[in-house]
Chain A
Amino acid sequence: MDVRQWIVRFSELVTADASRLTRLDSDIGDGDHGTNLDRGLRAAVAALDSDLPPGKVLMTAGRTLVSKTGGASGPLYGTALRRAGKAFGDATEVDAAGLGAALRAALEGIKELGKAEEGDKTMVDALTPAVAAYEGAAGEGLAAATRAALDGAEKGAEATVALQARKGRASYLGPRSVGHLDPGAASTVLLFRALADVAGRS
């Protein structure tokens, strides 16, 4: 699997969905999630060199996201990708076990930086079941595991609708944040859709 294609695909999906993400954010946040992430990912894609090993690709993409995105999504997605890249180390190929370790590292990085746990109505609520589902299906190979992860992310994101936000700007709404899909969880679904798309190709 080509991790550069993963970031490119993620960027394409976010571009296509930017206005929906921004609208979700307007409902419970400040209305910049789609435009922000789109801007950051375009910069990340532009910074990628196809000759780099997987770990370096993800670390470069992560660093660029941190540098160019702003908001909370830049540091969070940027840290996730950097941590995932570090987990790959010098590996030249992406296998199911390696990707699993990278996804786990990404999740831990986000939880650490955002100080969020499951149930806070953040991207962690989509990421956690996605990583768990991936690990559960890792024995069946990359394509199957990434499809399971996408399914986990979708279910986790959907479950944020019923939650009251405890982190980020949505938390200021209190009970009024209930009934809205968390925009960070929504974009996390796109991250896993991109992964499943790219892993399914190879």
Chain B
Amino acid sequence: MKKLIDAVDDVVLDALRGMAAAHPSLRVDLDQRIIVRADAPRTGKVGLISGGGSGHEPLHGGFVGYGMLDAACPGEVFTSPVPDQILAATTAVSGGAGVVHIVKNYTGDVLNFQMAAELADDEDIEVIPVVIDDDVAVQDSTFTAGRRGTGATVFVEKIAGALAEADGAVADVAAVATEVNERSRSFGVALTACTVPAAGRPTFELGEDEIELGIGIHGEPGRERTKLRTATEIVDFSLSAINDDMPLSGSDVLVMVNGMGGTPLMELYGAYAAADKWLTGHGATVSRRLVGNYVTSLDMAGCMISVCRLTPRLAELWDAPVETPGLRWGR
């Protein structure tokens, strides 16, 4: 394992120290391990919180700031945060108008956020959880823990964040988050496995000419392994999987070609060209797009495509100003 780190045990803490030093707009509490907007809490504003394992940067800490999240709780690498941490973040951003928890559908995340919500309730803070489950690679929830929450988390955090910034009520912020989740789907492909620092070796073995289709964001293997294909073939396969689940023809879409951490932007742009062509060819109108590393899986090579079928209101909230380390425009 070759990593730019000091010590395996300090990886997350050192990253938090760096975020604190690099972004004065954030308040980083190293003891509680939370990243909070420096201006939080704002009285009367709904607090928007997310969190999950570290290793997906910029998700979630990189999306804390004006127009998006009020706080993020990073767990250990690929491990959900603990309830105390989530409660600390909830308390730190509570402006009396309630707090929305954006939770990715992974067993550990769901359980820990659930416990934190109970603790917050004890302190009379209203918490509404919204669970993200956009991954079409997971099909039948009777045989699995249900769809994973992956790329659409960025869409949800941005759009719900815009409404919260505009002083939307807690029920409305939660409702728009749910709406975005329901209108979004993702599919991911790995070209290589990633290496978790504490494990010291790749999470799974992938041959030189093999790829893994339908991966999640924690380095867990996907649903099928095949031979390497061209970027266009991979993009077509991913978008077909999405389209089979949520027909895109006639829709105005927001699309994200997301890098998993180890793929150069050059290749992501190539993939985006194929995605744009596929979507247009299948009757969708691409009106908003993101290309880059937004929800990563450490050093994994590969990409994930996420699509959201927009409404005029969702497009307007997407376009609203945002100023975070990982996403900024209009301000």
Contact across chains for A70 and B143 when beta carbons are under 8 A apart: no
Of chain B, the residue at the smallest CB distance from A173 is B221
- Cβ of B91 within 8 Å of any chain A Cβ, yes or no, is no
- With A70-B82, A168-B107 known as contacts, the answer to whether A75 contacts B115 (CB < 8 A) is yes
A111-125 interface mask toward B, CB cutoff 8 Å, 1 = contact, 0 = none? Answer: 001100000000000
Least Cβ–Cβ distance between A53 and chain B, in angstroms = 25
**Chain A interface: which of B177-185, B195-203, B228-236, B245-253?**
B195-203
* Residues of chain A with a CB closer than 8 A to B199's CB: 22-23, 26, 31
Residues of chain A in range 6-31 having any CB-CB distance to chain B below 8 Å: 22-23, 26, 29-31
Closest Cβ of chain B to A69, distance in Å, is 7
Shortest beta-carbon distance from B193 to chain A in Å: 10
Count of inter-chain pairs, beta carbons less than 8 A: 109
Residues from chain B with Cβ under 8 Å of A168 in the complex: 107, 145
Q: Distance in Å from the Cβ of B176 to the closest Cβ of chain A?
A: 28
- B79 close to A (CB within 8 Å): yes
Tell me the count of chain B residues lying within 8 A, CB to CB, of chain A: 38
B106 lies within 8 A of chain A by Cβ: yes
CB within 8 A of B144: which of A22, A31, A114, A171? Answer: A171
B223 contacts across to A, CB distance below 8 A: 172-174
- Which one of A35, A113, A167, A172 has the greatest number of beta carbons of chain B within 10 Å? A172
| A166 with B108: CB separation less than 8 A | no
B82 touching A169, Cβ below 8 Å: no
Whether B78 lies near A113 (C-beta < 8 A) is: no
B62 within 8 A of A: no
A74 interface residue per 8 A CB criterion: yes
Our pick among B82, B198, B201 for the contact of A74 (Cβ within 8 Å) is B82
Q: Is the CB of A68 within 8 A of B78?
A: no
Say which residue of A67, A114, A171, A172 sits within 8 Å of B83 (CB atoms): A67
Give residues 173-217 of B contacting A (CB, 8 Å): 196, 198-199, 201, 203-204, 216
Q: Looking at the assembled complex, report how far the CB atom of B297 sits from the nearest CB atom of chain A, in whole angstroms.
A: 10
Chain B contacts with A in 95-126, Cβ cutoff 8 A: 106-108, 111-112, 114-115
Q: Is A196 an interface residue (CB 8 A)?
A: no
Task: Determine whether B262 belongs to the interface, using a CB cutoff of 8 Å to chain A.
Answer: no
Known contacts A168-B145, A169-B218; A32/B107 CB under 8 A:
no
* List of 9 A-B pairs having minimum Cβ-Cβ separation, nearest first: A171-B144, A75-B111, A71-B108, A72-B108, A30-B218, A72-B107, A70-B79, A71-B79, A31-B199
Query: Which B residues have a C-beta under 8 Å from some C-beta of A?
Result: 53, 75-84, 106-108, 111-112, 114-115, 137-138, 142-145, 148, 196, 198-199, 201, 203-204, 216, 218-223
